[in-house]
Amino acid sequence: MLEIRGLKKKFGKYQVLNSLDMTVPSGALYGFVGPNGAGKTTTIKVMVGLLAPDEGTVRLGERCLGEEGWREKIGYVPDYFGVYDNLKVNEYMEFFAACYGMEGLKARRRCSALLEQIGLEDKADFYVDGLSKGMQQRLCLARALIHDPELLILDEPMGGLDPRTRFEFKETLRELRDQGKTIVISSHVLSELSELCTDVGILDQGRMALNGNIKDILSQVNSSNPIVITLFGGGRDKALALLKSHPYVHTITVRGDEIAVRFTGDRQDEAVLLQQLVDAGLLISSFTREQGSLESLFMQITGREEERTVMKYENESGL
């Protein structure tokens, strides 16, 4: 498990990280999100040992940041490729294997296995700078895995990749997660993270605004989302009268035949409400709880929820 406690980092007068706390469970695929300048890359650079924190602790299992063998446990894929001219793919891999003390047959076998895993085995004799962007990114991932790290940290790894390469990259990450690797991935493509990650952390202004299991978070978000009721063949006033008298209904928003209701009851209360509407002789064509997304959550946390609400609901009326 990766644990960060009270992490602080300042550049000049600018406090980039402000008592950041973060927990990444073992075996998790952790989505690390935040607006530009929130401090994601700084946090990642601290985690991989490229920046020294001003304050705070970073622990991976029993080991603390900076202790002997810390780097051995971490694989890092930055938001750039970092390739050498005039170096072939297998030489590039063997160079980084040697950087971790692996040489000879052992290194060659490990390199071959990784190139096969990421689908670059037929490119072993190609020059690195001649590979496509997607291939270079996959090669970077293979490089980061050369020493079989416990924790893999990827900083915006899917930026600039085409949809197919993104898909393949995500599949590789899922495979790695299934192999038991803990993966921290920072990205701006939130829809991708929500379908890929098991856990999420939202960073805002150098602090962790939200951290936890993505399913738990989204279910909490879902329960606070409105129920959208679509009526068939009129009866709006009757429905509104019934809803206004319901104890769990907090706000009602009307848009055409659709009524959005902020409802604080549980799933059973939702079912009872539906039953009451039907018993009142109303024809209900749909009755659904609006699904929360990582994107909407991100917008809420980073203070841009109002824009979304205004766009979504035209005639909001409180009770």
Partner 1 sequence: MKTNPVYRREMTVASRSLRMPLIITVFNCILAAVALLNMYSNVMQVRLTADIQYGSFLQLYEFAADIEFIMLMFIMPAITSGTISGERERQTLDLMLTTEMKSWEIVGGKLAASAVTIFLVVGSSFPLIALVLVYGGITGRDMLYMLLCFVVTALFTGGLGICFSSLFKRSTVSTVAAYGALAFLVAGTLAANSFALSMARMDLNQAGYTAGIIGSQTANSGALIYTLLMNPAVTFMVILQGQTASGSGGILEMYGTREPNLILDHWILASSAVQLLMASLFLVIAVKMLRKKGIGRNA
Min separation Cβ 152 and partner 1, Å: 12
Distances (CA, A) of 12 to 8, 45, 46, 77: 13, 17, 17, 27
Residues in CB range of 54: below 8 A, 6 or more apart: 8, 9, 10
Residue 313: which of 261, 230, 255, 227 has the closest Cα? 255
Min separation Cβ 271 and partner 1, Å: 53
Q: Which is nearer to partner 1, 84 or 167 (CB)?
A: 84
Q: Which is nearer to partner 1, 79 or 168 (CB)?
A: 79
Q: Are 201 and 211 in contact (CB under 8 A)?
A: yes
Min separation Cβ 80 and partner 1, Å: 5
Q: Are 16 and 3 in contact (CB under 8 A)?
A: no
Residues in CB range of 288: below 8 A, 6 or more apart: 227, 228
What distance in Å separates the CA atoms of residue 192 and residue 294, rounded to the nearest whole number?
10
Q: Which is nearer to partner 1, 67 or 195 (CB)?
A: 67
**CA 63 to chain centroid:** 25
Min separation Cβ 301 and partner 1, Å: 25
Q: Which is nearer to partner 1, 81 or 313 (CB)?
A: 81
What distance in Å separates the CA atoms of residue 171 and residue 183, rounded to the nearest whole number?
13
Q: Which is nearer to partner 1, 89 or 193 (CB)?
A: 89
Q: Which is nearer to partner 1, 81 or 248 (CB)?
A: 81
Min separation Cβ 94 and partner 1, Å: 9
Min separation Cβ 76 and partner 1, Å: 5
Q: Which is nearer to partner 1, 78 or 292 (CB)?
A: 78
Q: Are 135 and 120 in contact (CB under 8 A)?
A: yes
**Per-residue DSSP letter, 127:** B
Min separation Cβ 295 and partner 1, Å: 30
Q: Give 285's Cβ-side CA count (13 Å radius).
A: 10
- With 0-12 / 13-18 / 19 or more C-beta atoms within 10 angstroms meaning exposed / middle / buried, residue 301 is middle
Min separation Cβ 100 and partner 1, Å: 5
Binding site for partner 1 (CB under 8 A): 11, 42, 45, 48-51, 71-72, 74, 76, 78, 80-87, 91, 95-96, 98-101, 103, 143, 147
Q: Which is nearer to partner 1, 91 or 269 (CB)?
A: 91
What distance in Å separates the CA atoms of residue 194 and residue 189, rounded to the nearest whole number?
9
Q: What is the DSSP string of 179-234?
A: TT-EEEEE-S-HHHHHHH-SEEEEEETTEEEEEEEHHHHHHHHHHHSPEEEEESSS
